[in-house]
Amino acid sequence: MRDQGRSGCPINLTLEVIGDRWSLIVLRDMMFGNRRHFRELLAGSEEGIASNILAARLKHLQAVGLVTRTPDPDHKQKATYSLTEPAIRLLPVIAEMSAWGLAHQPVTPDLAIRAQLLQDGGHPLLEAFMAELRHLHLGAPKPARSVLAELTRAFLAARAAQQA
């Protein structure tokens, strides 16, 4: 007999891994905010993630093979979290969610700018961003283009314009 809630459908299997909101929020912050430490992920969260939820989600992401944790021998609190290759390959899923949110939800202007760049950049931008994430998280060679710098620059300019 089939287990309740399980099937071999690729959409279902993906949802079993990332089908809770906070896991994807944590991956988003690691990707777009380059946040690698617990404190950064906690303090920088736009959604004010609670400490116990963040700890549980980081454990879950390690258990399903999307995040690895490298302890700092000198500071127990300073472990570094890295994305794995399968996690980096979730970028197209997250980019489609971003485009959908931009089109159908009340997105804040300063946060819309990155979504717009992501959408306009299409496949080449996603490939360049994944290459950059492989450099930052997996020690691959540094690519010439920094999508993270492009997105961050645009975000900071939009936030400054909004506050002017």
Q: How far is the CB of 134 from a copy of itself (least distance, A)?
A: 16
Indicate the SS3 state at residue 83. Answer: strand
- Alpha-carbon distance of 28 to 95, in angstroms, equals 10
Q: Which helix (H) or strand (E) holds 15?
A: helix 10-18
- 9 contact partners, CB below 8 Å, separation of at least 6: none
* Binding region for a copy of itself (CB under 8 A) out of 36-44, 71-79, 83-91, 156-164: 83-91
Type of residue at 14: T
Among 13, 43, 149, 161, contact with a copy of itself (rule: CB under 8 A):
13
Pick out residues in 40-79 that bind a copy of itself (CB under 8 A): 46-48, 50
* Binding region for a copy of itself (CB under 8 A) out of 22-30, 71-79, 130-138, 146-154: 22-30
Smaller CB distance to a copy of itself: residue 21 or 142? Answer: 21
Q: How far is the CB of 126 from a copy of itself (least distance, A)?
A: 10
Give CA torsion, residues 46, 115, 95, 19, to 10 deg.
30
Pick out residues in 106-135 that bind a copy of itself (CB under 8 A): 106-108, 111-112, 115
The length of the chain is: 164
Q: How far is the CB of 76 from a copy of itself (least distance, A)?
A: 27
Structure tokens at 48: 């004010």
